[in-house]
Structure 1
């Protein structure tokens, strides 16, 4: 076998030596050409000569078609091909051939601004015949169609289909570019968020098609108010964002807001309708500390929320974001606290002003957070109402208060002459079956409804009078008492007071605390007491913090009082001792 192999090698050597050198070179060139022609992509062999002269030795038909050459029958200078020379590809190939890299792949284009062609370029070093020079195989995969499709999709992705304006994503990208610009200076740019007020009402009244027409017309008016270089986008349903360059600081932002209001002052004509719309405007400066453009937009939206409440242009204040983050954090922790029954009730005494005895206690929710410490109800109750957590929170407070009262009875071995008051949120009245919750809690504890008072504010009645009336009548059917809390601060009409089954009017502390030094407050308190007497209702004065106030209210005929003068809210275990002390 070895002998046979040696013979074959010897024959090949003889055959090779029999081929002339020129014929051998031609054969190698033909083989290279055949290999290149077999490739379905543009390919060519580039050679580097000193000093930095780049040649194309062999190329296939897709390559010559691409560069506009006829067939390569001899070496041609690479600089003759615009697609190689004009795009900087030649310099890259020279750098590659001077390096020690075996291969390299990258993306390139032909360098044209309009109608450019795009390629994936791969360079592979050729080392088999070093006598032929420093060479590499260059292949170009045309991806022009893919790039154009991606650009088209991206353009669609960045544009609002209704108004034709850039959308929220495009707006954020533009803000990101400003923030990343090395020449960026804090305070030199601002984001304005413009929101069309009452758009949902217009949509409901005239229909979504007319609503879309209004949005388009609104966008055109906004666009007409821009300066050169300002950027406008639709960032939400009826919300638009503007990116402004500020040459005069906040003055430019204020003037932009005035231009917007002026542009929107004329009515919009939609078919046969003439609609006047207003807008709310919030503004946030780009300070440079923002990590994301979305944060800048969110800051402007914080200001927009205040603008909706006041009707004036509002500028973002850093504490707004901190407050919003705290509210969100409190919401998350409050949800866990309710589920884990981590909240507690404190009980503030309700004093009979004629006898000085304790007639009952108002149950007040308290939250001692393990991480934050004590969190005031003034802070967590609004969060609970905004998030809907007030429903489970209210149920817990109702059940806990009733069970605590039943526990006091069991502890002393008899029924105490005490009642308990529990506050109802307007959200509870609107969303929950309050009467069923009360009935279940009373049945579980064995108490009668006459020992329970439900307190609700005037706003709970104003929001939905019909539902509120039904809820109150259902509660009265359980023998529970109903008190109207903070009376005098809302908008309850006398007709409601006459018609609704209300037992107690609670006079708001703002009138009580000021009555000794303010004649108007005394007149209001006297009027409320007279009204309650005429309607056969009891009265409770809140916020009594001095003996003088207690005596003055007693003389005026107020039935009950509560406040720090009598006692601060007590923990459940201290209630019986307090009651015994007052009874003695």
Structure 2
């Protein structure tokens, strides 16, 4: 080929190769009719371009596929981060985002959102009685039922444990109360777990949003209303009121003060006599703790015992009560001629019963104070041992072997079953005061109480009735064959010095010195 007459196809080849190098893979050269060596190179370059284009297309598809997978994985992770793993509901993070969005819409003219907070009543008993698997199934069913009572625009969330929330964007108080009442209705229906039936009733707090409110403030107000509902009873709906915040702040302050009350020597003990109904002989005393607050005065146990359990100081409180009351008993034994079988009755919480060193602690105290074990009776509630946990049963059996008496407290309010109690190492049953209400006015109540007494005695257990407030009640229980009881008819709970005076002067109560009808015996 003459250099003066260059083949134009060569320039085309060079230009095509340059385009390929820039990524223009669709570049092609049309071969000539010469079918010579240059055409052969053109054909090779075209084939290379086609192969590069196919490779690039496959690469793009793989990139798109991988990108889609990563995008979906990101969405799945975001969904997991915003949802509750057990129920599939929104979680707290998602709820707060939704509240902020609803409040933002309200700031732009939309109706305000309403927030409902729900806490299941006695859910802990479900876990204790039937196990956590059953508890999880109950939570899942609750989630399903709540989703069934809300609008499509509403959001149901689980905040953790047995606490749920319902956000109603663009709502009114009427709409919020309708949803709250429907929630109570569906949660009041039994839940079937295989052959078992359980209830999942709830306490509900309601708060309608206000202008300028933050998501955290709305949640706090609804939570405050919910706790007010729980304090009032079961299956209660409470609408937020500003005064509730004061009560909550007061409770928070009291919690802080209670933590230091034991070390500050602010707790005091009162003692209520337990008497033999046939003779009015004092058989022993029940220990009742009070909080002598430096500013608020004497605080009853039903005010601070639940708080002590809630904030985790019930163990320290139980230990203090056990030690202080046994030391008091030792002083009385030195000062007075007490009956050899005089018994000190001390309440033990469910938390304390699970402590591995409980028996050693009591054994050490008894040995140190030279007290016979038979002079001590520990009172426990049915709910504290309903699961028959290994630690609890070990504690009870070891206390029984030590010689300490064991009494079931508040019988008639829990899972009362005589056959169940017969399987436990207990010797006494304290019948709850509620069974004496209406003893003379409610049809069949007298016969009902008599039947309970006979069942307890048939099981080989001793019955102690609490809350005896009138002579008539005492006479009726005595006629039934009940051996012992306590209540305001015989004596109110007394401080240690007054109890000592009573024990020093007589072993028998002179009836008439009591406060007939003065009110029910304190719970602890």
- TM-score, structure 2 as length reference: 0.63
Contact kept, 8 Å, 1:171 with 1:241, in 2: the verdict is no
CA 1:466–1:530: 2 relative to 1, 3 Å: farther
1:376-395 equivalences in 2 (<5 Å)? 376-395=300-319
Task: Find 1:456's aligned residue among 380, 383, 401.
Answer: 380
CA 1:436–1:290: 2 relative to 1, 3 Å: farther
CA-to-partner distance for each residue in 1:257-286, whole Å, 9 max, x for gaps? 979x99xxxxxxxxxxxxxxx998956343
Corresponding position of 1:473: 397
SS of 1:402's partner is helix
Task: Find 2:169's aligned residue among 221, 237, 244.
Answer: 244
Shift of 1:568: 0.6
Greater share of strand = 1
Contact kept, 8 Å, 1:194 with 1:240, in 2: the verdict is yes
Q: Does 1:167 align with 2:94?
A: yes
SS of 1:347's partner is strand
CA-to-partner distance for each residue in 1:288-331, whole Å, 9 max, x for gaps? 38864312113334566769x99979453336555444433322
CA 1:535–1:162: 2 relative to 1, 3 Å: closer
CA 1:313–1:167: 2 relative to 1, 3 Å: farther
CA 1:539–1:297: 2 relative to 1, 3 Å: same
Task: Find 2:415's aligned residue among 491, 497, 505.
Answer: 491
**Structure 2 CA distance, aligned partners of 1:279 and 1:448?**
46
Corresponding position of 1:399: 323
Contact kept, 8 Å, 1:384 with 1:390, in 2: the verdict is yes
1:514-533 equivalences in 2 (<5 Å)? 514-533=438-457
**Structure 2 CA distance, aligned partners of 1:392 and 1:182?**
53
Contact kept, 8 Å, 1:290 with 1:296, in 2: the verdict is no
Shift of 1:576: 2.4
Corresponding position of 1:434: 358
SS of 1:245's partner is coil
Task: Find 2:298's aligned residue among 374, 391, 397.
Answer: 374
**Structure 1 CA distance, aligned partners of 2:305 and 2:361?**
20
Corresponding position of 2:219: 297
Greater C-alpha radius of gyration: 1
Corresponding position of 2:45: none
What is the aligned length? 398
1:95-244 equivalences in 2 (<5 Å)? 162-163=81-82, 167=94, 170-171=97-98, 173-174=100-101, 177=104, 181=107, 188-192=112-116, 225-227=151-153, 236=159, 242=167, 244=169
Corresponding position of 2:208: 286
Shift of 1:477: 1.3
CA 1:545–1:235: 2 relative to 1, 3 Å: closer
Greater displacement, 383-392 / 519-528: 519-528
Corresponding position of 2:367: 443
Corresponding position of 1:336: 260
Contact kept, 8 Å, 1:511 with 1:522, in 2: the verdict is no
Shift of 1:572: 0.6
Contact kept, 8 Å, 2:115 with 2:206, in 1: the verdict is yes
Shift of 1:510: 1.4
CA-to-partner distance for each residue in 1:455-481, whole Å, 9 max, x for gaps? 111112213355443322111111111
SS of 2:506's partner is helix
**Structure 2 CA distance, aligned partners of 1:561 and 1:578?**
17
Greater displacement, 530-539 / 421-430: 530-539
Shift of 1:376: 1.7
**Structure 1 CA distance, aligned partners of 2:265 and 2:471?**
38
Shift of 1:394: 0.8
CA-to-partner distance for each residue in 1:8-35, whole Å, 9 max, x for gaps? xxxxxxxxxxxxxxxxxxxxxxxxxxxx
CA 1:490–1:253: 2 relative to 1, 3 Å: closer
CA 1:313–1:455: 2 relative to 1, 3 Å: closer
Shift of 1:553: 1.5
**Structure 1 CA distance, aligned partners of 2:501 and 2:236?**
56
Q: Does 1:556 align with 2:486?
A: no
SS of 1:558's partner is coil
Corresponding position of 2:463: 539
CA-to-partner distance for each residue in 1:347-402, whole Å, 9 max, x for gaps? 00111112221111111001121122222211211112222221111111111111
Q: CA RMSD in A?
A: 4.6
CA-to-partner distance for each residue in 1:547-580, whole Å, 9 max, x for gaps? 2222221121111121111111111111122124
Corresponding position of 2:490: 566
Corresponding position of 2:281: 357
Task: Find 1:317's aligned residue among 240, 245, 248.
Answer: 240
SS of 2:262's partner is helix
> Unaligned stretches of 5+ in structure 2?
1-74, 84-89, 187-199, 509-524
Corresponding position of 2:16: none
CA 1:317–1:446: 2 relative to 1, 3 Å: same
Corresponding position of 2:333: 409
CA 1:177–1:467: 2 relative to 1, 3 Å: same
SS of 1:366's partner is strand
1:74-85 equivalences in 2 (<5 Å)? none
> Unaligned stretches of 5+ in structure 1?
1-155, 209-213, 263-277
